Amino acid sequence: MVPPVAVSPLIKTARYSALIAGIIYGKRRYDHLKPIAAEERRIEEEEKKVREEQERIAKQLAEDSILK
Amino acid sequence: MVVRCTLSAVGLLSTLYGPTCLYAWLTVPGLLKRRWLDVLEDLLADLDRGMQHSMPAGGAAVTYSKPRLANFWYYARVELVPPAPAEIPKAIEGATNIIKGFQTGRLGQTTVKDALRNGLVATEVLMWFYIGECIGKGGIVGYNV
């Protein structure tokens, strides 16, 4: 088996600082995006309710005019 | 038969060979130091073994992966350890050396082979950032908001 290579300290510090920087970036981006997604979901819910209400009214009107 | 071979090859390369010397693959110095004939031989041996029997399951997986895990630790304990606090000044010194080399024009003298090797190592270092991002966001593909 090939003996393991002694990696230079510059590469080692660069790797682990990149890892930590990535963890911090990922966490911050997630925390930034989470409320935006929750807000969008809330708005979608409200619009869906309004739309369903209008559909219900339209259906009522259609039924009333055709059947009677 | 051909499809079975290719499927077993793809599955094997990611599971059998992975734990064997994953970081000898990912760590460029480890891979380049090996003779390419040895690497090819290992790959073919894994393929051969895979075609004889399917993936191990249950308790067999433990006995199967133990030597591979030992092999992984053998390399990881030297190549993947975080830098000791005493090594950080050496790292800063290395970085200033590179900047000085850039200023004096010595970096223009690097051979293509050295340039490619350094580019590969730099890419590996940058990819660790994305691994960190996956850990930070708690998922592999996309943000689960």
Side chain identity at residue A46, one-letter code: E
Q: Return the higher-pLDDT residue of A33 and B40.
A: A33
C-alpha triplet B69, B71, B77: angle, nearest 5°: 95
Pairwise CA distance, residues B51 & B4, whole Å: 8
Q: Which of A8, A25, A38 sits opposite B133 (nearest CB)?
A: A25
Optimal mutation site among B99, B124, B125, interface A, most CBs of chain A within 10 A: B125
Residue B145 DSSP code: -
Q: Which of A20, A19, A5, A15 is nearest to B88 (CA)?
A: A15
B78 to A4: CB separation less than 8 angstroms, yes or no: yes
pLDDT in tens, chain B (145 residues): 555 544 544 444 544 444 444 444 545 566 666 766 677 677 777 767 666 655 555 677 787 888 888 888 888 888 888 888 888 899 999 999 999 988 888 888 888 999 999 999 999 999 999 999 999 998 888 888 8
Buried b (16+ CB within 10 A) or exposed e, A35-50: eeeeeeeeeeeeeeee
What pLDDT, on a 0 to 100 scale, did the predictor assign at position B8? 46
The pLDDT assigned to B55 comes to: 53
Rounded Cα distance between B14 and A67, Å, is 66
pLDDT, tens digit (0-9, with 9 covering 90-100), for A45-64: 999 999 999 999 999 988 88
pLDDT score, position B17:
44
Give DSSP secondary structure letters for A13-44. Answer: HHHHHHHHHHHHHHHHHHHHHHHHHHHHHHHH
What is the pLDDT averaged over residues A8-16?
Answer: 91
Instruction: Quickly count: other Cβ atoms within 10 Å of residue A24's Cβ.
Output: 13
Chain B partners within 8 Å of A7 (Cβ): 27, 29, 78-79
B36 at interface of A, judged by CB pairs closer than 8 A:
no
